[in-house]
Amino acid sequence: MSTSNDPPVRSVRRAPDPERRSRVGLALVGLVIVALGLVGRFALPGAAGDVAGGLLYAALVYVVVAMVVPRASGTRIALVALAVVLGVELLQLTGVPAAIGEAFPPARLVLGTTFVVSDLVIGAVGVALMATTDAVLARPRGSR
């Protein structure tokens, strides 16, 4: 029973969890990154295409890791993404990615074929840019 002296009932909103990511949102971001990467791969000449592709590849790895563990901290996601990006690049020293690329050409887009030292830096920068973007987007709207 309610009397006229009872205070009005107010809904309580929880503050958004900055470490909670939407898998659907991440999937959409991933699709945009893949589209940009494919356009860049085939439209940008030489070094520009290589750098853009490396940055977008690293950003996509970050997004995939975030999709797998959407509640993980941005730092943890970045560290795992960085390990994957650097690991794939170092794996190219073995020739395994090149052999896989020979057998299945689309694998070249994922594994690459040739080790290039600058790709280590480009990958780290790509992960850092995506982690920064993730952190900015995770902030409550009033603090941006």
What mean pLDDT is reported for the chain? 87
Is 80 exceeded by the pLDDT of residue 19? Answer: no
Q: Which of 18-22, 100-104, 129-133 has the lowest mean pLDDT?
A: 18-22
Q: Check residues 4 and 52 and name the one with the higher pLDDT.
A: 52
Pick the range with the lowest mean pLDDT from 11-15, 27-31, 101-105: 11-15
The pLDDT tens digits of the residues spanning 78-99 come to 999 999 999 999 999 999 999 9
- Neighbour-count burial for 64-80, b at 16+ CB within 10 Å, e otherwise: bbbbeeeebebeebbeb
